Structure 1
Amino acid sequence: MRTIRFLLVKEFKQIFRNKAMLLIIFVLPLIQLLILSNAASYEVKNSKFAIVDLDHSSYSRALIQKFEASSQFDFMGLFSSEKIAKEQMQQGKIDVVLYIPVHFERSFQKEKKGSLLTTINAINGSAAAVENMYVNAILKDFNKTIQVDFMGAEASLQPKQLHIDTLFWFNPELNYKTFMVPGILVLLVTMVALFLAGMNIVREKELGTLEQINVTPIKKHQFIIGKLLPFWIIGMFELAVGLVIARLIFDVPMVGNFGLLFLFASVYLLVILGIGMFISNFTDTQQQAMFLSWFFAVIFILMSGLFTPIESMPAWAQVLTEANPVKYFVEVVRMVMLKGASLLDIMPQLIKLSIYALLINTLAVWSYKKVN
C-alpha cells in the first residue's frame, strides 16, 4: 500500500502540473456538457412553411389561419403557383408546402370529403417525419373545426369519436434535455477516462520513464493501480459535477438513488480504464493511442442508444451492442435518474459490466510487459 500511495502522489502531481491535461479534465467536459445538451435536440422547430392556395374560399382561409397560428412552423406566406413553391424548396428557402386544390370547399360541402397535398423536404428523414406529424395534427384539428363550425347540425349526426387521454411517464413535459443530458454525461465521463488513461501511459513511453519504472522493484499490479486509480477518481468527480450541473442548470429530475448510480459508475470506469490501458499496451505514441481510442469511442457512442434507439438498429447491430459498455451505462443512468430504478432493476446490466471489467482488465494486465 505504501508503494501505491507514493505512485498516486506522483501521478496527481504530474496531472496538476500539466496545464493542458487540467484543461481537458476539468474545463472542456463542462463546456461540452453545456453546449451539447442544448444543441443535441430531437425537436424540430422553426420549419419554414408555405401554402399554395388555388381555392381562395372560406375553408382555405380558415386552414391558412390554423397554420399561421401554429408554433411549430415559421409561416413564410402564400405562393400563387406550384412552380414557384418548387423553386423555393429547391433553393432551400422552404421546408414544407401545403397545396390547397381548386374546389376544395365545394368538395367538402357536396361530397363531405376533400384532399390536400403536402410536399416536405425529406433530406433529413427524421425531421421530415416530425414535420409530417405536425401537419397532420393541424389538419386533424381543422377537420374538427369544419364539422362543428361549418357543417352545423349535420356534424351532430356524425358518429361519436373515441376520446383518448395520454399520460407521459418519466418525462411529462417531453423535454428533450431530460432525455439527452444523462446520456451526454455518460459520453463525457467515457471520453475523459478512455483518452487520458491511454495517453498517460503512452506518454511515459515517449518520455522514456516507463523503462525506468520497469527496472524498479515496483510490482506490475502496483504500477497499474497507481496509473489507473487517479483517473478512476477523476471520472467519479466528473460524474458528480455533471450531475450537479444537470440538476441546477437543466433541471433534470433525480428520482433514483445517487449511491446506486455511483456504484454502477465505479464498475463502468474500471471497464473504460481497462480498455484505455489495453490500447496503450499496443501503441508507442500518444497520437497512435488517441486515434485508436477515438476509433473505439465513435463505435461505442453511436451504438449505445444515446442518439438513436437500439431497437431501431438491424438485428446484427443489436447483437454487437451487447459488447458495448457505454450502452449499459446510458441505460442505467436514465433508469436511475428518470425512473428511480432499484438495485434489482439494474442488476442484469451490473452483472454484465462486472464480467466485462474482469475480462478487459485481465487482458490489459496480461498484455502489459513488465521487466522484473
Structure 2
Amino acid sequence: MSPLRYILEKEFKQIFRNPAILKTIFILPVIQLIMLPMAADYEIKNINIAVVNNDHGTLSTDLVQQITASNYFKLVSYTNGFNTAMESLESDRADLILEIPNNFETSLFKEKEASLFLAVNAINGVKGSLGAAYLNNIIQNFNQSFRNKELVPGRFNEIPQIQISSSNWYNPKMNYRIFMVPGILVLLVTIVGMNLSSINIVREKEMGTIEQINVTPIQKFHFILGKLIPFWVIGLIVMSVGFIVAWLVYGIIPLGSYFTLYFFAAIYLLVILGIGLLISSYSENQQQAMLVTFFILMIFVLMGGLYTSIDSMPEWAKWFTKFNPISYFIEVMRMVVLKGSNIKDILPQVLAMLGYAVVINIWAVLSYHKRS
C-alpha cells in the first residue's frame, strides 16, 4: 500500500469521526445558501418618504398616489410644511422628501412646465441614490402619461420622441436571486475549503501527531496531497449540495454544462486548498490560522465582484482582482449558469487558475519541513 493511501485513509477517518466537520459540510452551506440570497438584495424597498404638498390639486394628489402605490415607497409624513418633513429626515424616520409647490398644477397648464424639490438622506448613499432614481422614474412616467392625456395642438410643444424596445438576455425577468445565488455558492465553497484546510496541518502540530508523521519515510508531496485530496472531494460535495438547494429553492438550473462547472471547480479548489495548507504550514496554532484565513477571505470576498462590480473599482483594485481566485470563479459561475458558456469561453480563466494552482501548491510543498 502506497504512503499516500495511508494518509488519505487517515484523513477521511478523522473527518467522518468529527461531527463538527460534517455539520460544516452539509448543514451550514444549506442554511447559508437559503438565507443569504434572500437578505443580500440590491433592490431597495420600503423607502420612507415625506411629502410636502403645497398644491393639493388633482395632479399633485394623483402623483402622490402613484408614488405610494409602488412597492418601493412608504409614506411616513404628508404635511404642508417643509420644516416638519425635515424633522422626519433628521430623525431618520424619512429617507426622502418630495416638496410639491403651491402652483404645481397651474404652472403645468399655463407655463407648460413645473418644478419639484427632492431632498435625499445620503448617509446611506446606495439607498439614497436608488431611492432618488426610483422616484425620478415614477415622476417621468407620470409626466409622460399626463402629456399623452392632455396633448392638444398649442398646449405643449410636440417634441419628437424615440421609443426604445429592450430585451433582457440571460436573465429575462431581471431576477436578482438568479444573479446572486451562483456567486454565493462560490463563496460557500471557498469558505468551507479554505477554513478546513487552513487548520489541518496546524492541528497536527497541536496534537503532536505531526512528529510521528515526520519520522516516517513519507515524502513531502505525498503529505501535502494527502491533506489536499480529502478537502478537494469535500469541496465538490459542498458544491453539489449547493446546486441541489439552488434547484429546489430557487429553481435555478445552469444553462451550460455541469461538467464545465465541475471542471473549473476542480482546478479552483486546488488553489483555495493550497492557500489554506500554506497558511496552516506557517501558523503556530489554530487560532492564528483562523485569523489569517479570515483576513484573507474578507479581502477576497469584498474584492471578488460578488457585491460590487469590478468594472466600477479603481485601477489598483482591478489589478488586485487579477490575483483574486474568487473573482475568476464568480465570473465563470455566472457565465455558465446564466449564459450557457462552455470550456472554450472560459479558457482564459482556466489557464489563470492552472498557473495559480501550480505556484501555490509548489509553495505549500516547499513550506512544509520535516523535522526529526
**Alpha-carbon spacing, 1:70–1:154, altered in 2? closer, same or farther (3 Å):** farther
Write out aligned runs for 1:23-38 (5 A).
Answer: 23-38=23-38
SS in 2 for 1:366: helix
Aligned partner of 2:118 in structure 1 is 118
Partner of 2:89: 89
Secondary structure, aligned partner of 2:199: helix
Q: Which runs of 5 or more structure 2 residues have no equivalent in the other structure? A: none
Aligned-pair identity in percent equals 47
**For structure 1, which runs of at least 5 residues remain unmatched after alignment?**
none
Aligned-residue offset at 1:110 = 1.5
- Matching residue's letter, 2:100: I
Q: Secondary structure at the match of 1:52?
A: strand
Q: SS in structure 1 opposite 2:35?
A: helix
Q: Structure 1 residue 364 and structure 2 residue 364: aligned?
A: yes
Counterparts of 2:68 and 2:227, CA distance in 1 = 61
Q: Using a 3 Å threshold, how does the CA distance of structure 1 residues 253 and 121 change in structure 2: closer, same or farther?
A: farther
Query: 1:263 aligned to 2:263?
Result: yes
- How far apart, CA to CA, are the structure 2 residues paired with 1:352 and 1:59? 59
Q: How big is each residue's C-alpha offset from its partner over 1:17-51, in whole Å with a ceiling of 9 and x where there is no partner?
A: 11222222221122111111111110101111221
Question: What letter matches 1:115 in structure 2?
Answer: S
Question: Are the equivalent residues in 2 in contact too, given 1:98–1:117 (CA < 8 A)?
Answer: yes
Q: Check the 8 A contact 2:50/2:88 in 1, yes or no.
A: no
- In 1, the alpha carbon distance for the partners of 2:93 and 2:38 equals 25
Measured after TM superposition, the shift of residue 155 of structure 1 is 6.1
Distance 1:104 1:39 in 2: 40
Moved more, 77-86 or 296-305: 77-86
Q: Matches of 2:253 and 2:18 in 1, distance apart?
A: 36
TM-score, scaled to structure 2: 0.96
Counterpart for residue 167 of structure 1: 167
| Deviation for aligned residue 1:160 | 3.4
TM superposition shift of 1:152: 4.5
155 and 164 in structure 1: CA distance in 2 versus 1, 3 angstrom threshold = farther
Distance apart, 1:366 and its partner CA: 0.7
Name the TM-score, length of structure 1 as normaliser.
Answer: 0.96
Alignment of 1:175-194 (within 5 A): 175-194=175-194
Displacement of 1:119 after TM fit? Answer: 1.3
Q: C-alpha separation between the residues in 2 aligned to 1:67 and 1:128?
A: 16
**Cα distance in structure 1, aligned partners of 2:258 and 2:325:** 20
Higher alpha-carbon deviation: 151-160 or 258-267:
151-160
Q: What is aligned with 1:206?
A: 206
Amino acid at match of 1:165: S
Superposed CA deviations along residues 42-93 of structure 1, whole A, max 9, x for unmatched, are 0101111221101121221221221132222122351121011011111111
Residue 3 of structure 1 deviates from its aligned partner by 2.4
Alignment partners' CA distance in 1, 2:155 and 2:185: 53
Q: 1:39-78 alignment to 2 at 5 Å?
A: 39-78=39-78
**Distance of 2:227 and 2:325 partners within structure 1:** 21
Q: CA RMSD in A?
A: 1.5
